[in-house]
Amino acid sequence: MFSVSVSYNRLMSLKKGFTLIELLVVVAIIGLLASIVMTSLNSARAKAKDTRRITNVREIEKALELYYDINNTYPYIQAYITNTYESQWTTTFATALQPYLPAVPNMTEAPPNGYLYLALNGGQKYGLAVGLETSGFNSLMTGDGGYFPGYYEVGSGARECGGVAKDWWNGLGTNCP
């Protein structure tokens, strides 16, 4: 009995490190935890971008109201920007709002669906919208009164046209109730 015990203890003292199975289990657990963390980090990042986009729209909305107070009309243009294309957004629209807003979002900040602006009813109303990436703001988009389901929309024109299920974005000068 003594010799068996000694030889077992001697074998155990010679064992150094981990077995291949133990290492594979640890690597698999670390990989699983890393994928869970990265997934939640990416969704948090997208939600933070959407929050910033909503803040941008609210800042632009305030600048548009200041513009209207001075000029008795909203900038009478159609301007938009996506992550691949822009039309008058960083030129004419940004210039019109320059005294009231330091900068409008640019190509690197634009979501895939983009920002949209359109003056309605001869510049007396407007629609402003931004596409969002996540579903975290579905209640905000649903409750904005606008026409487009995947966008957060503000402005009297967007709300009034959306209220009668009319697409305010197609056609400069569209009249809504």
Quote the tokens at residue 175.
Answer: 């009249």
Helix, strand, coil in percent for the chain, rounding step 5: 50, 15, 35
Give pLDDT tens digits for 29-75.
999 988 888 877 778 888 888 899 999 999 999 999 999 999 999 99
- pLDDT by residue (tens digit) across 135-171? 778 778 777 777 888 888 888 888 787 777 777 777 5
Q: Confirm if 50 and 112 have CB atoms less than 8 A apart.
A: no
CA–CA distances in Å: residue 59 to residues 56, 100, 109, 126, 160: 5, 9, 15, 15, 21
Mean pLDDT to the nearest integer, 85-89: 91
Extents of the domains making up the chain: 38-163
DSSP 88: B
